[in-house]
Amino acid sequence: MAAIDVSEVQKFLYSTPPFANLSSAQMASILNGMEVSYVRQGQTLTLAGAAATLHLIRRGACEIRTPNGALVDQIADGECFGVSSVLAQNPDGLEIVAMEDSLVYRFAKASFLQVFEQSEALRLFFEHTQHHRSRKLSRTQGSDINTPALQLSTPIEQVMTRQLIKATPEESVQIAAQRMTEARVSSILIVDAKEEHKPLVGIVTDRDLRSRVLALGITSELSLSEVMTCAPATLSPDSLVMQAQTLMSEYNIHHLPVVTGDGVPVGMVTAADLLRHQELSPILLINQIHRQTTVENLARVCQQWPTLIVNLILTDMKPADIGKVLAAVSDNLTRRLIELAIAKFGQPPFPFQFLVFGSQARKDQSLGSDQDNGLMLSSPPNAQQSEYFSALSNYVCEGLGACGIRLCPGNIMASNPDWRMTQEQWQQAFSNWITSAAPSALLNASIFFDIRCVYGDEKALTDLLKGMQKDIAKNSLFLVSLTRSALASKPPLGFFRHFLLESSGEHKHQLDLKHQGLALINDIARLYGVACQTYRVGTIPRLEQAIREKLISEDIARNLIDAWDELNGLRLEAQRRHWQAAGKASAYLDPSTLSPLERKHLKATFATIKEAQEIVLQRFARGYA
């Protein structure tokens, strides 16, 4: 324990509910005897003896757990623990575990209780906090497995804030900042006052003010229209918490306005709201990832990843949304590892892009997914520069492996010098694959054509894809060859529509949902993707783009999308069961475990794929298999 800087702590308390409403005398009393402590990540605090008092997290994050380790709540900057200790002698024996290195203020029990009796606002706040955590404790003790599902399916109306702070585009940044400060909020909604119903047109957050005004030294008289985020992502009032989680994870944002059908704002949901509501969330995991400073700590944080995936599956979240959430976590983990690598090895000698391929690029990762990635360099490197990018790539790929994203068995990783190339070399590689009919070239096309940039300027990748499309347009035989390769595998349906099951080995009498189902739809979508004028990467976006460009009938495309959802849902559920039973993921399914109706649906799904393959054969390979 250490003494405190009274003025600094007082300033923090006045900005933190419920201490902001204390009088000067009450503030002086509550500061009497306060101490500050530094809690290491993983350290457990038992709230007994002198520690049986109120604590306030200045910086960091902690978990409140029962004596048997069940999670009750997760709290972070500006939140308190020890409420039941100081008010009721901690009857449940709750313990505090630091999720990361944390700076904590500890109130002297006598000083806190003195002010607690004087301040009605303080009393109501902590009595409500105690009641709220008691309810969470009851849920934890009552049904551990249903808690995440119930939380994610909560209507957003039950979580959102209804007290909104608004401004118009014409008002100044200074006025907005004053309103935000007075209301102690981190965002302000920009509405069009010229319209009768005043619809939402933008948002300004405290991060916007720092990065777009203060950091650039711009005058605060600037109008909000010049700094606001126009047409921000929004939710409808009937949305669920899981949808808010997905949007925030996908776009890396922390504020979501809730609007009616005609755009009128009625609420606001922040990342902090969701963290308080959610025991284990992608937002929390991403925030934790960006706070870690070593690979070891990142690996420790990412031990939560399988549990997060299992929880998402249990909520019946759409497979496509689960994929978006996992891609958001993977992308942020990759970027954080690159940042740590740069901190270790120094600034790169010239700009580069970190590319991801396969399931991460398509945003359809699942339990046990491996990594596929590469580097695109803006200039040819000399020997010293090559050593730098080799060290950086090894650090990132090994770091991903330590965090649970397996190394690629085929060595398609940036750590392999074959996949560290300049933009011109990547362009040439793509051209070679397109002009060659060799099986290895077609295999590479099926892998590398699913591509996204997760670090660096995306323009280089955009230029690469434009060049690829030009090469495909000039080589009519390429689509024929790619189609034949894609149709080499068929859905596992035999005569009389019986399932064709594995005949031997570990997975005897089972179906491979990944290679005999999902991969076939991914291959079909990729064919349409390269044939479209506008290039998309994910399977569903490719099929939807093919509808817009009239390359496929809407009925066939929608049937394929439904089939993809069906198979992905079955795969995720099979992986969940295998993971919880054996600690490893498997996409194999024994159809005898399904109900007769489920087996009928699965056969119809495979029949849909077979029909689509026949259509693709006629369209892209002139009917010649």
- Which of the residue ranges 150-164, 222-236, 405-419, 579-593 would you say has the lowest mean pLDDT? 150-164
Domains, in order of start, for the chain: 6-144 (2.60.120.10), 156-277 (3.10.580.10), 282-432 (3.30.460.10), 485-620 (1.20.120)
pLDDT at 266: 94
Contact predicate 538/494, CB 8 Å = no
pLDDT at 142: 45
Contact predicate 450/362, CB 8 Å = yes
Q: Which residue has the higher pLDDT, 276 or 464?
A: 464
pLDDT at 182: 87
pLDDT for 565 beyond 80:
yes
- Which of the residue ranges 82-96, 393-407, 467-481, 522-536 would you say has the lowest mean pLDDT? 82-96
Average pLDDT over residues 503-507: 76
Give the angle subtended at the CA of 243 by the CAs of 241 and 248, to the nearest 5°: 95
Split at pLDDT 50, 70, 90, the class of 169 is: very high
The whole-chain average pLDDT of the chain stands at 87
Report percent pLDDT > 70 for the chain: 94
Per residue in 57-81, pLDDT (tens digit) is 998 888 888 887 777 877 888 888 9
pLDDT for 615 beyond 80:
yes
pLDDT for 150 beyond 60:
no
Look at strands 102-106 and 55-59 and give their pairing.
antiparallel
pLDDT at 275: 66
pLDDT at 146: 39
| Rounded Cα gap, residues 146 and 140, in angstroms | 9
Q: Burial, 124: exposed, middle or buried (Cβ in 10 Å; 0-12, 13-18, 19+)?
A: exposed
pLDDT at 147: 47
Split at pLDDT 50, 70, 90, the class of 597 is: low
Closest CA to 522 of 549, 493, 494, 482: 482
Split at pLDDT 50, 70, 90, the class of 144 is: very low
pLDDT at 553: 94
Average pLDDT over residues 153-160: 79
Q: What is the 3-state secondary structure (H, E, C) of 437-473?
A: CCHHHHHHHHHHCCEEEEECCCHHHHHHHHHHHHHHH
pLDDT for 479 beyond 50:
yes
User: What sign does the dihedral 492-495-496-500 (CA atoms) show?
Assistant: negative
Can you list the alpha helix ranges (DSSP code H) found in 363-403? 383-402
pLDDT at 183: 85
Residues 6 or more apart from 374 whose CB is under 8 A from it? 354, 355, 357, 412, 413, 414, 419, 420, 421
pLDDT at 623: 53
Q: Which bin fits 509, alpha (ψ -120 to 50), beta or left (φ > 0)?
A: left
pLDDT at 517: 93
Average pLDDT over residues 36-44: 89
Angle between helices 519-531 and 596-620 (to 10 degrees): 30
- Which of the residue ranges 126-130, 456-460, 550-554 would you say has the lowest mean pLDDT? 126-130
Burial code (b: 16+ CB inside 10 Å, e: under 16) for 5-26 equals eeeebbebbeebebbeebeeeb
Q: Which residue has the higher pLDDT, 378 or 248?
A: 378
DSSP state of 518: I
pLDDT at 316: 64
Coil vs helix vs strand at 373: strand
Average pLDDT over residues 26-35: 91
Place of tokens 């189902």: 517
Average pLDDT over residues 79-84: 86
pLDDT for 554 beyond 60:
yes
Can you list the alpha helix ranges (DSSP code H) found in 532-594? 539-548, 554-582
Angle between helices 24-31 and 109-118 (to 10 degrees): 160
- Which of the residue ranges 107-121, 220-234, 308-322, 542-556 would you say has the lowest mean pLDDT? 308-322
Burial code (b: 16+ CB inside 10 Å, e: under 16) for 386-413 equals eebbbebbebbbebbbebbbeebeeebb
> What's the helix, strand, coil split of the chain in %, to 5?
55, 15, 30
Instruction: Establish whether the linkage from the previous residue to 91 is cis, with ω within 30° of 0.
Output: no
pLDDT at 17: 80
pLDDT at 518: 95
pLDDT at 50: 75
pLDDT at 339: 96
Q: Tell me, what amino acid is at 569?
A: G
pLDDT at 3: 62
